[in-house]
Structure 1
């Protein structure tokens, strides 16, 4: 049965947002206890571990989603691919923990708190057994979303009970791991529902046949991580844990917002892969155009909104001690639009079409820009310099992807209705600026800005009779009538 793209998106949005929303809610509590240096220490270790996880994953998740989506109507082929990928994951994870041991014995900054580093490294194991790629490939987003919410609620309760002072950093590290990855255990156990051992010949399993194709996705992940995880690593080495803490706070909000578009790509990619495999190119092109329109309708106002809400959001999230992170948050707000656009062109179109080389090239160009700018700007501007480097890297990726891959992308990039989103965002921004002049506390300011911003933007689209907002109204009426 073909599942609804809208429902898949809703469930995956719930899951992806919760992965960042719950830490955001608890971050306000944890940051006031751990302070900038404590938060920075955890983020610094997580950045190092994420590089090891990058190698142990080897591009498997994105590759596996596409491959499972292609064969999801054939239980035998689906089971064979699933088992092969799990075996490959196990092999790579073994070498990942060898790297963890070497780092613990040789890196001085890690030796300052080896128990915390080892605790955070458990995320590598949880990632290996998580199998979210399997459920995304078969478009079973409902289960993942419900399971994720339950695990995160339990982990939040434990955080408030166990993290009381700055000395409880190990408990905070445990929350960071189990709150995000703990549910992966249930993912692994639930595979029994789909995998039937009596239909598979274990002599036919060849896990290393997936090694070469995953290397292409791995190359993409490596260059992407250069301007994601390397930002924290460079800050940690070239400045200090406090600078990492400020940058971490500044990017917490944007990561949640960008999960909206990441969720869309995760839902659209298996569907487009399946449509391409079945030769339904007209449906593929129509779906991509709708996705692009939707991203623009959301990304433009969200970018403007974060710029004006950052002062109250950052202070509410982390306290007055993190005021240096406000400008940083405003700088990286532009990445909301850039990541949204590059996600449609790269993950939803070029990768399913087999043009991942273009995505890798464009991302590599952005990564080079990011590293060079970080080296130049961090000594003078610290975390704000990293924010500028990060933002310009995403701009470079999006622009290069547009020019290099345009012939393969079936999108009308300029339409009259896009002016609706620009004008609506401008008017909304003016109103948010006026609200920022009022002398309200942070929580009152943030709530007022969010509500007024949404009302104004939607009102402008209604006045202009925008096609997306009119379609949403039509769908709501149909739901109510049914």
Structure 2
């Protein structure tokens, strides 16, 4: 049965994506403290190492199709026939690369001793490769069905939490927990594949009509970008796994999980904006396009900078609340990772909202390659001396390197869309808030770590918002104006 899709507004999709990202915060806040205390650092390290390794094969299987698919499908989403053709072509390519990836993975699983020792864990974790292919998540993002994506993901997360509390009770249950993790993250993708026939007519397109080769160059370009990105984002855990022990990976993994939660929140807008911007480039004015980009930059600045500083200030309390006292070695790791979320937030705009929609994927690849090189070199130098802290330093420097390349490639449009005044306002508001909370911490001693995070967080972000209002930050004032206008309209009615 054919089903029409309705494209919601940016605000609605952003709200749905925020809810989805918030679930990505809330559920780890439920599971992470429990799993850290039950499985301990060694078992958590094993899972983190296996996940990092499998991520390389997932990357090969996807071959840049997720980001390319969003852009390409968004461009033709108003034409069902063209949309069906593009989806069919990308599914064929995705299937071929998935088979290739799995063959390579199974060969390495047999010949590498480090992998062979945990064969069941690696096999279970590797099922994400297949489920990612079936999920066609890129299609649902392209047609902006964020309500469906959000409801489906949250439902599976709830089921996964219940399964975790029922079946994971001691360190030897780590393989079972890895399976539950897979179910939580990609289990719902099977529903995507079944539902796909409601939106596209794959049966109506004959194989001879598919132009598969026209997609090769852009998806390979994006693959190179994604490949180098994954290398320097997960290489630190892989290198730690080979150069140190599972406990070090476990400590590092605890900090990385917190960082990833924050990154997912900060970059929530980017996932919504990519299809909108791809569509706008084809159908709207340059002024509208630049205004959207400028708002994205403003959002990153007033969210990433204060969040980064707050978690630097409260690293000890956050780690003790989420992971427990046994993960004290994760505290300095978390602090050195925090600057990276600012760089990742800004580069998510330069990459996914500028370079890719503008067809300048080669610069995303260049940035990722440069970041990967920086990551490898710094990891080699710092891990033997500083252990996991060295990997954290390498991660932040690598993310800065990526942003540096992007900005240089986008000099002209960056000057039009990035407002230095907004950066200065956010920076000063953050620093003043940090000084106030630091002084408050020296006077007001709170023994309970959770209450400490909560109370100091209210003070920190409360002062930050007041300072944004005092400095007349653009985006905040625009939001307040819109709220006032809606309130006045309701009063008139």
TM-score, normalised on structure 2?
0.94
Counterpart for residue 114 of structure 1? 119
Residues 295 and 340, structure 1, Cα contact 8 Å, conserved in 2: yes
Instruction: Find the aligned partners of 1:2 and 1:144 in 2 and give their Cα distance.
Output: 13
Match of 1:18 among 23, 39, 56: 23
Match of 1:426 among 408, 415, 431: 431
Match of 1:86 among 88, 91, 94: 91
Q: Secondary structure at the match of 1:156?
A: helix
Residues 79 and 196, structure 1, Cα contact 8 Å, conserved in 2: yes
Counterpart for residue 3 of structure 2? none
TM-score, normalised on structure 1?
0.96
Counterpart for residue 454 of structure 2? 447
Counterpart for residue 465 of structure 1? 472
Within the alignment, does 1:136 sit opposite 2:141 as a pair?
yes
Residues 137 and 192, structure 2, Cα contact 8 Å, conserved in 1: yes
Instruction: Find the aligned partners of 1:21 and 1:96 in 2 and give their Cα distance.
Output: 33
Residues 266 and 303, structure 2, Cα contact 8 Å, conserved in 1: no
Match of 1:222 among 227, 230, 235: 227
Q: Note the C-alpha offset of 1:319.
A: 0.7
**Unmatched tracts of structure 1, length 5 or more:** none
Q: Secondary structure at the match of 2:410?
A: helix
Instruction: Find the aligned partners of 1:121 and 1:138 in 2 and give their Cα distance.
Output: 28
Deviations 1:7-42 (A, max 9, x none): 212212322443454234301101111111100001
Residues 300 and 337, structure 1, Cα contact 8 Å, conserved in 2: yes
Match of 2:402 among 397, 401, 405: 397
1:265-414 superposed matches below 5 A: 265-278=270-283, 280-409=285-414, 411-414=416-419
Deviations 1:359-378 (A, max 9, x none): 21122112111100000110
Deviations 1:36-80 (A, max 9, x none): 110000110111111111111111100000000100110001011
Residues 123 and 177, structure 1, Cα contact 8 Å, conserved in 2: yes
Instruction: Find the aligned partners of 2:479 and 2:98 in 1 and give their Cα distance.
Output: 45
1:184-199 superposed matches below 5 A: 184-197=189-202, 199=204
Alpha carbons of structure 1 residues 3 and 212: separation in structure 2 relative to 1, 3 Å: same
Counterpart for residue 256 of structure 1? 261
Alpha carbons of structure 1 residues 2 and 157: separation in structure 2 relative to 1, 3 Å: closer
Residues 72 and 78, structure 1, Cα contact 8 Å, conserved in 2: yes
Residues 70 and 274, structure 1, Cα contact 8 Å, conserved in 2: yes
Residues 312 and 443, structure 1, Cα contact 8 Å, conserved in 2: yes
Q: Secondary structure at the match of 2:387?
A: helix
Residues 288 and 410, structure 1, Cα contact 8 Å, conserved in 2: no
Q: Note the C-alpha offset of 1:203.
A: 3.0
Deviations 1:109-152 (A, max 9, x none): 12212111111111111111111100111111111011111110
Counterpart for residue 252 of structure 2? 247
User: 153-162 vs 2-11, which deviates more?
Assistant: 2-11
Residues 88 and 202, structure 2, Cα contact 8 Å, conserved in 1: no
Q: Secondary structure at the match of 1:363?
A: helix
Q: Note the C-alpha offset of 1:277.
A: 1.9
Alpha carbons of structure 1 residues 118 and 265: separation in structure 2 relative to 1, 3 Å: same
Within the alignment, does 1:211 sit opposite 2:211 as a pair?
no
Residues 280 and 289, structure 2, Cα contact 8 Å, conserved in 1: yes
Residues 32 and 318, structure 1, Cα contact 8 Å, conserved in 2: yes
Q: Note the C-alpha offset of 1:199.
A: 4.5
Within the alignment, does 1:57 sit opposite 2:49 as a pair?
no
Counterpart for residue 106 of structure 2? 101
Instruction: Find the aligned partners of 2:191 and 2:7 in 1 and give their Cα distance.
Output: 24
Residues 301 and 422, structure 2, Cα contact 8 Å, conserved in 1: no
Residues 122 and 177, structure 1, Cα contact 8 Å, conserved in 2: yes
User: 208-217 vs 382-391, which deviates more?
Assistant: 208-217
Residues 52 and 96, structure 1, Cα contact 8 Å, conserved in 2: yes
Deviations 1:295-321 (A, max 9, x none): 111121111111112111111111111
Within the alignment, does 1:3 sit opposite 2:5 as a pair?
no
Deviations 1:325-382 (A, max 9, x none): 1111011100121111111122211111111111211221121111000001101101
User: 204-213 vs 305-314, which deviates more?
Assistant: 204-213
Q: Note the C-alpha offset of 1:479.
A: 4.8
Within the alignment, does 1:476 sit opposite 2:483 as a pair?
yes
Instruction: Find the aligned partners of 1:157 and 1:275 in 2 and give their Cα distance.
Output: 42
Deviations 1:229-275 (A, max 9, x none): 11110000011111111111111111111112332111111111111
